[in-house]
Amino acid sequence: MGSAETASGRRQNRWMQLVIGIVCMGLVANFQYAWTLFVMPMDAKHHWGQAAIQTAFTIFIVTETWLVPVEGWLVDKFGPRPVVMGGAIFAGLGWVIDAHATSLTHLYIAAVVAGIGAGCVYGTCVGTALKWFPDKRGLAAGLTAAGFGAGAAVTVIPISNMIQSSGYEHAFMFFGILQGVVIFLLALLLVRPKPPANIVPAKRVVATKIDYTTAQMVRAPIFWVLYAMFVCVAAGGVIATAQVGPIAKEYGFASMPVSLFGATLPLLAMTLSIDNLCNGFTRPLCGFISDKIGRENTMFIIFLGEGVALLGLMQFGQNPYMFMVFAALTFLCWGEIFSIFPATCADTFGSKYAAANAGTLYTAKGTASMLVPIASVLATFASWNSVFIVTAITSIAAGVCAKFVLAPMRRKWIDNTIAETSTTASYGMSFPAEWTEAPSKSSTR
Give pLDDT tens digits for 53-84: 888 988 898 888 888 888 888 888 888 999 99
Dump pLDDT digits (tens) for 34-48.
888 888 899 888 888
Instruction: Give the pLDDT band of residue 182 (cuts 50, 70, 90).
Output: very high
How would residue 439 be classed by pLDDT, with cut points 50, 70 and 90? very low
CA distances from 132 to 17, 125, 136, 143, 193 (A): 9, 11, 9, 13, 5
Residue 273's Cβ-side half-sphere holds a number of Cα atoms within 13 Å equal to 19
For residues 241-245, average pLDDT = 73
Looking at residue 369, its pLDDT comes to 76
Which CATH number is correct for 2-194+202-423, 3.40.50.300, 1.10.150.120, 1.10.3760.10, 1.20.1250.20?
1.20.1250.20
Give backbone dihedrals phi and psi of 181, rounded to 5 degrees, phi first.
Answer: -65, -45
Residue pLDDT, tens place only, 83-122: 999 999 999 999 999 999 888 999 999 999 999 999 999 8
Q: Residue 419 corresponds to which amino acid?
A: A
Distance between terminal CA atoms of the chain? 42
SS3 content of the chain, % helix, strand, coil (to 5): 80, 0, 20
Q: What is the pLDDT of residues 306-326, one digit of tens each?
A: 999 989 988 888 888 898 899
Stretch 166-183: mean pLDDT: 92
Query: Quick one: pLDDT at residue 440?
Result: 38
The Cα–Cα gap between 296 and 359 comes to: 20
Query: Please, what is the average pLDDT of the chain?
Result: 83
Q: Per-residue pLDDT for 432 more than 80?
A: no
Predicted confidence at residue 275, as pLDDT, reads 84
- Each domain of the chain, given as residue ranges in start order, spans 2-194+202-423
What is the predicted pLDDT for the residue at 423?
54
Question: How large a percentage of the chain has pLDDT more than 90?
Answer: 32
Res 441: pLDDT: 39
What is the tens place of the pLDDT at every residue in 125-162? 988 998 888 888 889 988 998 887 667 777 778 888 89
Residue 219: the pLDDT is 94
The pLDDT-based confidence of 202 (bands split at 50, 70, 90) is low
pLDDT at 278 (0 to 100): 87
Residue 345 to residue 361: CA distance in whole angstroms:
8
CB 32 within 8 A of CB 118: yes
Which range has the worst mean pLDDT, 157-171, 223-237, 412-426? 412-426
In sequence order, what are the beta bridge partners of 258?
Answer: 265
Residue 198 confidence (pLDDT): 66
